[in-house]
Chain A
Amino acid sequence: GIQVEQSPPDLILQEGANSTLRCNFSDSVNNLQWFHQNPWGQLINLFYIPSGTKQNGRLSATTVATERYSLLYISSSQTTDSGVYFCAVHSGNTPLVFGKGTRLSVIA
């Protein structure tokens, strides 16, 4: 099955810093999503981005499907950005496969 690798596994940032999270996947996919799991455990949809670039406020994402990777950019980080960021992919009707996540801690 499809393998999803995320890096780095852990990241500690000072408030106001920028960061880039990476997601590599092992096969062609027709769906890629980024999620933020907040400290209460809820999975928040950030981006649905099978290809191209999208932006939403301080967050943006780019997927290069031909090279099988996606990047999530967080600019001017805030303490409320803390949590775990997951990349997940699927192809056709297969299940959504998750990476192990990047745990982000933003300190004031």
Chain B
Amino acid sequence: EAQVTQNPRYLITVTGKKLTVTCSQNMNHEYMSWYRQDPGLGLRQIYYSMNVEVTDKGDVPEGYKVSRKEKRNFPLILESPSPNQTSLYFCASRRLAGVGNEQFFGPGTRLTVL
């Protein structure tokens, strides 16, 4: 089954404790990205990647890191989480261009930083 997976689905942590949210897709998509969703602010892009070893900042990159060492994986790293990073996070992937570049989303990760 074609899908985007994220782990963990739920996470409660404390300020300053480094964490990683994993993301993996099995559709051989070039483009992967991370979004956060907050009440009243909608979905905002954090980082994106157009291919292996190619990453770039989205609208709200501060406090986050990403890496793209393999085509299928795109982990989101919070080196020193703070309470303002409490949010619902989504990973997504799609083909880079051409016909049928529908974007698919993972199930989401609810992060609470105390």
Stretch at the interface among A11-19, A69-77, A90-98: A90-98
- Report which residue of B45, B92, B94, B103 has the largest number of chain A beta carbons within 10 angstroms of its beta carbon: B103
Stretch at the interface among B21-29, B71-79, B104-112: B104-112
Complex: chain B residue closest to A31, CB-CB: B101
Contact between chains at A33 and B92 (CB < 8 Å): no
- Across chains A and B, the number of contacting residue pairs, with CB separation under 8 Å, is 44
Contact between chains at B108 and A93 (CB < 8 Å): no
* Interface residue from B37, B42, B96, B110 paired with A93 (Cβ < 8 Å): B96
A residues in contact with B33, CB < 8 Å: 95-96
Contact between chains at A98 and B108 (CB < 8 Å): no
B residues in contact with A35, CB < 8 Å: 105
In the assembled complex, B52 has its CB within 8 A of some CB on chain A: no
Contact between chains at B42 and A92 (CB < 8 Å): no
Bound-state CA distance A41–B108 (Å) is: 7
Bound-state CA distance A90–B103 (Å) is: 10
Contact between chains at B31 and A93 (CB < 8 Å): yes
Contact between chains at A41 and B102 (CB < 8 Å): no
A→B interface (CB under 8 Å): 31, 33, 35, 41-43, 45, 48, 86, 88, 90, 92-93, 95-96, 98-101
B→A interface (CB under 8 Å): 31, 33, 37, 42-43, 45, 48, 50, 58-59, 88, 90, 92, 94, 96-97, 100-105, 107-108, 110
